[in-house]
Amino acid sequence: MSEYIATFHTHLSALLTFEALRGRGMEARMMPVPRALSSSCGTCVRYTAPYACQDLLDRDWEAVYGCRGEDYTCLYTAEEP
C-alpha cells in the first residue's frame, strides 16, 4: 500500500472523493493542503491505497501526489477540459 494526496478545485469534490475512498474500505482523511503543494480550494484528501485510485476521484480533481513522509511527488494532473 502507498500513501497519496489528491488536491481539488472545490471542497465538495474533496468531500465526494473522501466518501468514495472510505466506501471502498480505504483509509482516508480530509485535511488542509500542505504548504509545499497548491490547490484552489485548500482542502485535500490523504489516503492509503494499492494504487492512485484516479477512478474514485471526483471529476473536479486537480492533482495526485505520492507521499513519503513530508516529501511529495506529483504523479498525475487532471487535463483541462
pLDDT at 80: 54
Which residues lie closer than 8 Å to 66 by C-beta, 6 or more apart? 2, 3, 4, 52, 72, 73, 75
Domain count, the chain: 1
All three cell numbers of 14: 474533496
pLDDT tens, 30-81?
999 998 887 667 899 999 999 999 999 999 999 999 999 889 999 999 875 4
The verdict on pTM exceeding 0.75 is yes
What pLDDT is attached to residue 41?
Answer: 76
- Residue range(s) defining the domain that contains residue 60: 2-77
